[in-house]
Amino acid sequence: MKDRLIGLFWPPTLHLLPMILVMGTIFFLSQQPGDSLDLPDIPDLDKFLHASVYGVLAATTLFAIKPNRRRANPVRVGLSVILFCILYGISDELHQAFVPGRMPDILDLLADATGAVLIVAAWLWSTGER
């Protein structure tokens, strides 16, 4: 089982790094108390930012997966990446429940999923999987 997991990523130390950095950035930002986040007063800006960051997470996760795995079954890989991003989004929202001034929001999770789906859909389109 361990060999199968290791075989999914190529070379682990280099291609996992962008994904890990994005995940760390999301965790760091989620750890900030609610009153320390000073966003401009633009309607739904936070949802746009959620979608953008989780789109980047999806892209870096796709990058972490071996090219031959991505080519062998792009739809399965794409669905797995979306599921991974949604699960990380759920953990992020649960984490915010314990941060002063922050609270979980299902609409944030929906924005997270939207960002991941858009990036995976664009990737699948670019591979010819339409």
Going by C-alpha positions, the residue among 76, 52, 61, 80 that lies closest to residue 17 is 61
Whole-prediction pTM? 0.86
Judged against a pLDDT cut of 70, whether residue 32 lies above it is answered with yes
Q: Write the pLDDT tens digit of every residue in 81-113.
A: 999 999 999 999 999 999 998 899 999 999 999
Stronger pLDDT, 37 or 46, i.e. the higher one: 46
Mean pLDDT for the stretch of residues 16-24: 94
- Calculate the CA 120 to chain-centre distance: 11
Question: What secondary structure letter does DSSP report for 9?
Answer: B
